[in-house]
Structure 1
Amino acid sequence: MTELVACYHCGQAAAEGGRWQAQVKGEMRSMCCPGCAAAAQAIADAGLDDYYDSRSGYAAPADAADAPALQMYDELGLDGDAVFTVEGLRCAACVWLIERRVAALPGVASAVLNVATERLHVRWDSAVCRPSRIIAALRGIGYTAYPYDATRHGAQLERARKALMRRLFVAGLSMMQVMMYAVPVYLANDGTMDADMTALMGWASFLLTLPAVSYCAWPFLRGAWMDLRRGLPGMDVPVALGILAAFIGSAVSLVRGEGEVWFDSITMFVFLLLGSRWLELDARRKAARALEGLQHAVPATAQRLSGWPAPCEPETIAAARLQPGDVILVAPGQTVAADGVILAGQTEVDLALLTGESRTRAVGPGEQLPGGAVNVAQAVTVRVESCAADSTLAMLVRLSERAGQDKPRLAQWADRVGAWFVVVLLVLTGAVFAFWHAVYPARAWPAAIAVLVVSCPCALSLATPTALAAALERLLRHGVLAVKPHVLETLERSTHVVFDKTGTLTRGRPALQDTVALELLDDVACLRIAVALEAGNAHPLAQALREALDGSAAAPLAAQEVENVVGQGIAGEVAGLRYRLGSAAFVAALAGSPPPLGSVPGATTIWLGSAGRWLARFDLVDALRPEAADLVRELQARGKTVLLLSGDDEEAVRAVADELGIRDARGRQLPQDKLDAVRTLQAQGAVVAMVGDGINDAAVLSGADVSFAMGQGAQLAQLHADCVLLGAGAALGDRGLAPLAEALRTAGACVRVIRQNLGWAMLYNLVAIPAAASGLLNPWLSGLGMAGSSALVVLNALRLRREG
């Protein structure tokens, strides 16, 4: 008979010297299947066979049968930057292997694996490497991988929630049962319970505590072991040591028949700690829900009208196959698959996922429709202007996937301090044990356990990221997507806020400010003539005139023999009379005299005239956003210096600055001039926040300490900012700078909550640890204090979700 051995790769049964083998570390190793053989050989050929020395468990079985199906991942539009979910992670050796295996692929620039979230962020050269090769390489070494999918990720979170609930239930049941046996022992301190009954109560408590330690406390024990293997002791280390020390000490006392037992303290401690971890997990699930909403909303298919405008049946195709110029039908209840323009039909759209705005917006022919908008009324026909991979929603999904890849500096600092806290705590515990062992040996063990249990590094290791997650979720609900992790903390400590003008403090498009009638006709009559002449003109000034007349009940006029003179104006006949609309020189050639009035500084002036007459002057300006003045005042009230840097002429910039109360305003600033100004401020010790439209401000947005870009539909692809103000753009139902004001308030609230948590942790530990070391707190009171402190800081962090 063939002797069976463990597969060298996955540990399953394999035939020794059988058909499937691979040469690893200079020896032929037996494998259970061709997949494992290929995986092991790939590891060895890549020079990574040291993995087998450092792993703490077998790899997942490899499956080579589905390799051809991997090519479908190349059709998903993952263009050089994507996040993959990796299943089967077991230890730090897995992280080491995966990062190095993927980084070794030709064309891969970087590969970073977050073991906590099981998400691998990869950047690669699309001309050299493809997603299928990355996934195949991972499966080749025994790991299941796929592009990050919100549904599957959500299912994993749900499994984690159910597993934690089971542990919490068992811990609670164990705690209540142990208390039933412990309370009579505590009450019988006058000798009313004999030794045999006391021992029976103790052994019953021991048996009921076993599930709490072996099953319920397993996440803490495993986490502590992983931390110690990495040489980075985290908060699980003192927790695990406290549980094990109390359990082993109690078991020894029970066997010897003398000394204290703390089975009730252990079960209560595990239950309360799992309860605080439940609060943390619930907070993280709620904080991730908004981003998952974006990812769930990406439509998989679209209804293409290949023969439009001729009558035709819609064809269902993958949304990834849409190309600019395609015409699609968007039925009620469907999500728009790509950015486009409405060709036919009127409806209302829900932009809540894109902007946080709860009200629907009416749209009709000629209006832009962003990918990700939900049609809530009637079917519309839309011409696609960008492929689905470049749509507003797709870009937001990619930005959301980038968010959270790194930790903010505050959280990194908290991790470092938390690690040192644990080291100091372990040293202190040893010192307390040694002191009491020399002075009063009977108190040494309980005092050491109490010190381990009562300490609370949670405010650093747990509550700080919980506060940040809750704050970022609140921001997203208000139309702010934080792409980089440091946005909140840097915005709060910023000293200077620099604004661009056009498209940032202003709407970025002209609007009619004033109509001055010069002869017999009134303002509305003159505007009707001007709109008739501009009816077919796509120029922004013509659009501004048409928008100004939209609110009037006057019937539109029609123009004939319209002639557009580029750079000067437009001429045509309305109701049998010849008119000209445009520059003063252009109109003067028909009016026969110079204009009777001068132009308004800072405004674009358009004149209307006919033969021998000047009829009207239209003053158009790039109007300020209505919320800009309030925002500037709020920034100044918080002690921040506001600057205005713009490429427009000095006169227009000064007019805007005077209206908003900005003292330092500079015009004619090229992109390099803006960057130089920011760097000068930074050299003087300033922390600079920059707000721009993200189109021609890429350099200064990248150079600022923290930067905000106005969302502009497909132009999001050009963003170099740390944060995106959603709902800022014509296609998104412009909410302007309102999200920035919310970001400012949220940043202040978040930093305030974190300081409260840190202050509480410092006060608690300064009081509780000396009390435990002096023997004033027994283990069960220590457990109650630690779990209560953890719950307090988490609940305090969750207040950020409710404010605003």
Structure 2
Amino acid sequence: MGKISLAKCAYCGAAILRPSQKYCCAGCRVVDQILQSENQSAQNWGLRPRQESDPSLADPVALARFVSEDPQGPFSRLFFEGIQCSGCLTVLARLPEYIPQVRDVRWNNVDSVLTVNWGAAADLVTLSQTLSRLGFTFRWLEHDHPANQFRQSLRRQELQRIAVVGALFANIMLFAISVYAGAPAGLKQIFDWISFVLFIPVMSYGAWPFYRNAIRAFRSRVFNVDLPLTLAFLAGSIFSIYSLVKHQGSATGDIYFDSLSGFLFLILTTRYFLKSSQWAASDPYPLEFFFDRPLFQVNSPPTRTAEAPTEPPRAAELVQPPTWSAEAPKAPTWPEPRWTSLTQLKVGDLVTVPAGARVPVDGTLRSVSTELDLAFLTGESSPRLVTKGESVLAGSRVIGQAIEVQAEKVGFATEVGKIIDSINQKSLTLEIGHVTGGKVGSGLLLLVLAVAGITFLLLFQSQPAEGFRRIMALFIVACPCAIAFGAPLTYARSIKEAFRQGLVVRRSETFSALKRVRAVAFDKTGTLTKGQLRLFLLHPVLDRYLKQIILTLEQHSRHPVAEALKRQWGPLPPLEVVDLREVPGQGVEGRFGGDQYSLRTAQETSPTAGPGIELFRNGQSMLRLSFEDEVRPESAPLVQELHRRKIETWIFSGDQTEKVRELAQLLAIPEDHAFGRLSPQGKRAQLEKVKPDLYVGDGVNDVPALHSVRVSMAMPGSSLEAQLASDVLILRGGLERILDLLTIATKARRTLRRNLTIALTYNIAAGLAAVMGWVGPLGAAILMPLSSLAIYLSTEWI
């Protein structure tokens, strides 16, 4: 029997039983028509009238301010106000279909920042006009401009709103308690009118964010969490005012100014603390973490004095050459060196970097010369010699003696700082379709509305006031706000935990993408191996004199073989050599004493043999040196553990196939899972066939592969291109961090499921209590924050 092919909704993609239908529901039809209503009247859909475009957004200056570049292409960032749940994001998710220039959009729920990735060209005018018509309040973010400034401003506004509502609620409760305690009828009416006067700013100023979000939901025909809350709040307010005006409040008790004020105060407070916990969990990665020491010795620019210096300053202390004027002979005063934190370094400072530490600034070397380890920046396994006056990049590790660097760029303006800043901006962004809890929250809201309607119909004839009281309590107590906040908080906590383990996670959906890991693929060189050659065989045995000859011939070479010999034999004094020269395609040669020595690439004796060189004297071969790429010690245990978890392992490499299969055999990886002689595009093609859940690489040639898998990981010391292309960057440790990442992803999924269970259990139980009349509006307002508190505590246990 063949499979039945179901039609799909033109908006959400859900299956449709009737092929004649285009949409699965009326909501999808309305939203899709809104987004396709370019030639229709905006007023027919509740949209704002089309406004004249802001000409400044089409100006090249605006494009330069608001459009940034990364390896994936141009993008812009916008800060939004008033986004409370996934219902608000539905229209944003459709922007790529509505605006052709938009490639895709990503949402940072913690910072309320939308990242718009552009295609061929950016169209700021159309985007701004579309968002304005849909009722969104937003601000453009400039280059390297964090959302913290706007976030702090909103935080102050929210605190001010909470303080006002809280103070008014406390005063309203004073009068309400007197009424509940049995105040005389005349005094009750006075207290009720005073409560109404106090309630006016609560209803207008305090509830304004809910009105704004409800209006947006109405305009875009999208159901969000604030729409039923607003309806309940307005209905309760109108009903209470009606009872007060008709002088029925003292007799029936149908005035809910205290309950409504308490509800508003508690929900504003709950949202504020949940948002604050998200902000605390998503603090940006500190720049200091990427360096080995918090303090550096610094000489600042000199100041002028009228006294001449007793002695010229030392060159190591100079920040800029001193100058003297013939008209006013003055000399600079050279301050004593001081210790300064990494974040307090300034342009012009002369920074002393001790041996083994990372350079904290981009600048110019003022010492004579040094060797720098650039593995963190470029992936180079060999040190690079830098001489006085050459540029030095932050993140380089000093090999040898301490050096002095004059700062030209500091902090996040350095090249490594820009990488860290990019990670900070994008680590919490999600594709809008991955915002967990959105469909559950929307479904719960629809269920609440249905139950409320049934309850009101059942009680409308006999007890209309009681039915209204129960419905209002239901709307208050069954608010699914906690579901909307639980997922971003969980992801933020998981990213922090990964950071403590030495992992930088660039995308929040990495954890959901690792839901079921069935296959992991590796690059070979620099990933499963150390990427550094090691001398493992020589014939015959060398004496000190021959070692000096070889090192003298290789003293200017940057070849991995030369670096391996220098590293393994250590510093030996060079010998006097005559006519030292490199022969293209052959090797290097020179004359020592009366003999002509040369180093040439050795012919491979077998397909699996590593690189080798031969030393010749007067044309006769004297000895052969063979090298191998050392396997990482953690490679075999990792592969063994992955196999124990029923996870397949693969190797994709550009090395010779025989060498790749030899390594696969050593690590117990099936031979048919090892591929060699692959170009970068060949790797990508193989990965698209195998479809592994995780790929681990380290070099520039791995960039296409890193882009083609669900989750990609870059090794420590990877090239800058690989770091930017990967989803996860290993800062400390080695391949064992893969297991740490899988463990954190598993914990995150468990936390999400636990939070969802808690929220649904609470809403069902509390909603039932409200429908049965066991909980009134005031009790519902008190119970409402419990769900959020429970989810917060659950997430803290991640």
* Same fold per superposition (TM over 0.5): yes
Contact 2:77/2:140 (8 A) holds in 1:
yes
- State the alpha-carbon separation in 1 of the partners of residues 603 and 373 from structure 2: 45
For 2:754, the aligned partner's letter is Q
Q: Which runs of 5+ in 1 are unaligned?
A: 1-45, 298-310, 315-327, 356-361, 587-597, 728-733
CA distance in 1, matches of 2:44, 2:397: 51
Task: Give the one of 683, 696, 699 matched to 2:701.
Answer: 696
The 5 Å alignment of 1:574-613 reads 579-584=597-602, 601-608=608-615, 610=617
Distance (whole Å) between structure 2 residues aligned to residue 564 and residue 657 of structure 1: 37
CA deviation map 1:456-482 (0-9, x unaligned)? 423432211222233335545666555
- Tell me the residue number matched to 1:268: 262
The equivalent residue for 2:729 is: 725
Cα offsets for 1:589-623 (capped at 9, x unmatched): xxxxxxxxx88955333344657998765442222
Establish whether residue 465 from structure 1 lines up as the match of residue 496 from structure 2.
Answer: no
1:414 corresponds to 2:427: no
The structure-2 alpha-carbon separation of the partners of 1:374 and 1:769, relative to structure 1 and needing over 3 Å to count, comes to farther
CA deviation map 1:712-751 (0-9, x unaligned): 7775289665x14255xxxxxx855465444323212211
In the alignment, the residues of structure 2 paired with residue 177 and residue 363 of structure 1 have an alpha-carbon distance, to the nearest angstrom, of 72
Say whether 1:488 aligns with 2:511: yes
Alpha-carbon shift at residue 505 of structure 1 (Å):
1.9
What is the aligned partner in structure 1 of residue 590 from structure 2?
572
Q: 2:252 aligned to 233, 237, 259, which one?
A: 259
Specify which of 708, 713, 736 is matched with residue 713 of structure 2: 708
Q: 1:65 to 1:787 in 2, by over 3 A?
A: closer
Matches within 5 A, 1:626-645: 626-645=633-652
For 1:324, the equivalent position in structure 2 comes to none
Counterpart-to-counterpart distance in 1, 2:127 and 2:369: 43
Displacement, 1:544?
1.7
Work out the CA distance in 1 between the residues paired with 2:505 and 2:582: 46
Q: Where in structure 2 are the equivalents of 1:427-442 lying within 5 Å? A: 427-438=450-461, 440-442=463-465
Q: Following the alignment from structure 1 to structure 2, what is the Cα–Cα distance between the partners of residues 701 and 64?
A: 38
Work out whether residues 66 and 76 of structure 2, in 8 Å CA contact, stay in contact via their aligned partners in 1. no
Alignment deviations for residues 319-338 of structure 1 (CA, whole Å, 9 cap, x no partner): xxxxxxxxx98843996459
Kept after mapping to 2: 8 A contact 1:492/1:751: yes
Aligned to 1:544: 564
Unaligned runs of 5+ in 2: 1-37, 292-317, 322-346, 353-358
SS in structure 1 opposite 2:437? helix
In the TM superposition, what whole-angstrom CA distance separates every residue of 1:382-432 from its partner, at most 9, and x where no partner exists? 999xxx999555466557656666526442x63233222212211111112
Select between 599-608 and 273-282 the one with higher mean Cα deviation. 599-608
**Does the 8 Å CA contact 1:62/1:140 hold for their aligned counterparts?**
no
Report the Cα distance in structure 2 between the residues aligned to 1:505 and 1:741, rounded to whole angstroms: 15
Does residue 511 in structure 1 map to residue 533 in structure 2? yes
Measure how far apart 1:161 and its partner are: 0.9
Residue type matched to 1:539 in 2?
H
Q: Aligned partners of 1:280, 1:483: CA distance in 2, in Å?
A: 23
Give me the whole-angstrom Cα distance separating, in 2, the residues matched to 1:693 and 1:649: 18
Name the CA shift for 1:47/1:313 in 2 (closer, same or farther; >3 Å): farther
Question: Is residue 225 of structure 1 aligned with residue 232 of structure 2?
Answer: no
Query: What corresponds to 2:324 in structure 1?
Result: none
**Percent sequence identity over matched residues?**
25
Asked whether the equivalents of residues 507 and 625 of structure 1 are also in contact (C-alpha less than 8 Å), the reply is yes
Does the C-alpha gap of structure 1 residues 86 and 58 become closer, same or farther in structure 2, counting only changes over 3 Å? Answer: farther
Q: Which residue, out of 204, 210, 214, partners 1:214?
A: 204
Contact 1:161 1:281 in 2 (8 A): no
Distance 2:131 2:658 in 1: 63
The question of whether the paired residues in 1 share the 8 Å contact of 2:141 and 2:147 is answered with: no
Partners of 2:716 and 2:734 within 8 A in 1: no
CA contact (8 A) 2:697 2:722 kept: no
Q: Which residue of 2 aligns with 1:730?
A: none
CA contact (8 A) 1:62 1:139 kept: no
- Would the aligned equivalents of 1:602 and 1:651 in 2 still touch at CA under 8 Å? no
Aligned partner of 2:751 in structure 1 is 753
Mapped to 2, the partners of 1:217 and 1:702 lie a distance apart of 46
Return closer, same or farther for 1:763/1:167 CA change in 2, 3 Å cut-off: same
Q: 1:490 offset after TM fit, Å?
A: 1.2
> 2: CA distance between counterparts of 1:349 and 1:169?
55
Check conservation: 1:348, 1:363, Cα contact below 8 A: yes
Q: Report the TM-score when normalising by structure 1.
A: 0.69
Query: Per the alignment, do residues 153 and 77 of structure 1 end up closer, same or farther by CA in structure 2, a change over 3 Å counting?
Result: same
Separation of aligned partners in 2, 1:445 and 1:265: 13
Greater displacement, 443-452 / 245-254 = 245-254
Deviates more, 1:77-86 or 1:623-632: 77-86
Corresponding position of 1:647: 654
Q: State whether residues 691 and 709 of structure 1, in contact with CA within 8 Å, keep that contact through their aligned partners in structure 2.
A: yes
Cross-structure match for 1:380: 405
Mean CA deviation greater in 241-250 or 477-486: 477-486
Tell me how far apart the structure 2 counterparts of residues 383 and 244 of structure 1 sit (CA, whole Å). 59
Does structure 2 retain, via aligned residues, the 8 Å contact 1:329–1:379? no
SS at match of 2:147: helix
In structure 1, the partner of 2:75 is 82
- Distance, in Å, in 2 between the alignment partners of 1:648 and 1:545 is 22
Q: For the residues of structure 2 that align with 1:158 and 1:421, how far apart are their CA atoms?
A: 32
Deviation, 1:494, is 2.0
1:214 deviates by 2.5
Deviations 1:71-90 (A, max 9, x none): 87599879960314479999
Contact 1:695 1:719 in 2 (8 A): no
Provide the C-alpha distance between the structure 1 equivalents of 2:489 and 2:785, rounded to a whole number of angstroms. 16
| Alpha carbons 1:235, 1:457 under 8 Å: kept | yes
- How far did 1:158 drift? 0.7
CA contact (8 A) 1:454 1:769 kept: yes
- Amino acid of the residue matched to residue 176 of structure 1? A
Q: 1:408 to 1:636 in 2, by over 3 A?
A: farther
Counterpart in the other structure of 1:13? none
User: Are 2:613 and 1:623 equivalent residues in the alignment?
Assistant: no
Q: Say whether the 8 Å CA contact 2:96–2:103 is kept in structure 1.
A: no
**Counterpart Cα distance in 1 of 2:693 and 2:131:** 45
Q: In the aligned structure 1, how far is the partner of 2:708 from the partner of 2:67? A: 35
- Tell me by how many angstroms 1:109 deviates: 6.0
Task: Indicate conservation of the 8 Å contact 2:282/2:496, yes or no.
Answer: yes
Alignment-mate amino acid for residue 210 of structure 2: F
Counterpart in the other structure of 2:116 = 121
Structure 1 residue 348: Cα displacement: 9.7
Native 8 Å contact 1:350 1:374 kept in 2: yes
Q: Structure 1 570/487 Cα, relative in aligned 2: closer, same or farther at 3 Å? A: same
Q: Do residues 562 (structure 1) and 580 (structure 2) align?
A: yes
- Secondary structure (helix, strand or coil) at the match of 1:446 reads helix
Q: How many angstroms does 1:535 deviate by?
A: 0.5
For residues 143 and 110 of structure 1, the distance between their equivalents in structure 2, rounded to whole angstroms, comes to: 22
When structure 1 is superposed on structure 2, of 486-495 and 609-618 the one drifting more is: 609-618
Query: CA shift at 1:235, angstroms?
Result: 1.6
CA contact (8 A) 1:647 1:668 kept: yes
Offset at residue 788 of structure 1 (A): 1.7
Equivalent position SS for 1:535: coil
TM-score, normalised with respect to structure 2:
0.69
Q: CA deviation at 1:753?
A: 1.2
- Among 468, 492, 498, the alignment partner of 1:445 is 468
Q: Once superposed, what is the RMSD of the aligned Cα atoms? A: 5.4
1:83 touches 1:401 (CA, 8 Å); kept in 2? Answer: no
CA shift in 2, pair 1:515/1:130, >3 Å: farther
- Check if 1:285 corresponds to 2:279: yes
Aligned residues: 679
Deviates more, 1:436-445 or 1:477-486: 477-486
Partner of 1:308: none
CA distance in 1, matches of 2:67, 2:221: 42
Question: What is the alpha-carbon distance in structure 2 between the residues aligned to residue 762 and residue 140 of structure 1?
Answer: 35
8 Å Cα contact 2:581-2:588 kept in structure 1: yes
How big is the shift at 1:765? 2.2
Give the corresponding residue for 1:794: 792
